[in-house]
Amino acid sequence: MGKNFFIVGIDEAGRGPLAGPVCVGAVGAKIKNKREKLKILVGIKDSKKLSPRKREEWQKIIKKNFESHYVFIGHDVIDKIGMGQALKLGVEKVLKKFSRKPNIVLMDGSLKAPKEYRQQTIIKGDEKVPLISAASVIAKTARDRKMLVLHKKFPRYGLDKHKGYGTKKHYKKISKYGLCEVHRKTFCGNIN
């Protein structure tokens, strides 16, 4: 493996919510060999296990030290093609943003890259692989910011608090006001 091995970690945020986009985040790093630890990422965790403040701190560190990108796949696309295909599309789009093709792509859970990429999917990768944890931070911070913007457009739903997830308060708001244009209709079929 030469001096210029480029590895990319990928994760998503927002697979389960009733509203808003899903975000696919990716972080790329040049390493000399497979055993090399990315010292800058020591102590990083899956974004779900970090406080919002810690996520923002990590996001700044990642942006400063690595090539990182994210893409949103909107609620309308999710409704049209389903979450599985939306994630596949997100992975494909985010990989195209990198300055060069990665030597290998490491992904969390059930994510898959297009066939032309050498890849490995790791169950609970966001907990085990720092580069995937970093990608989860990039995806989560970007999506949370997006949900704050959507909250300003649709304030009655409380998107700033629950970020579109199916909380009791969110269900109550939907029952009271009906669905707004950023709700995933296919995720909200049984809500009265």
As a whole number of angstroms, the longest Cα–Cα distance in the chain is: 60
Integer Cα distance of 76 and 79 in angstroms: 5
Domain boundaries, the chain: 5-187
Class of 5-187 in CATH? alpha beta
> Structure tokens of 10?
């990928």
Backbone angles phi, psi at 107, to 5 degrees: -130, 150
Q: Shortest CA distance to 69 belongs to which of 95, 108, 41?
A: 95
Integer Cα distance of 169 and 160 in angstroms: 12
- Residue 112 gets which letter from DSSP? -
With beta carbons less than 8 A apart as the criterion, state whether 19 and 157 touch: yes
Q: Shortest CA distance to 48 belongs to which of 14, 99, 77?
A: 14
* pTM for this prediction: 0.93
pLDDT at residue 192, rounded to an integer: 56
pLDDT tens digits for 67-79? Answer: 999 999 999 999 9
Regions of the chain with pLDDT less than 50: 1-2
Integer Cα distance of 132 and 179 in angstroms: 34
Residue 68 Rama label (left phi>0; alpha psi -120 to 50; beta) = beta
pLDDT at residue 1, rounded to an integer: 44
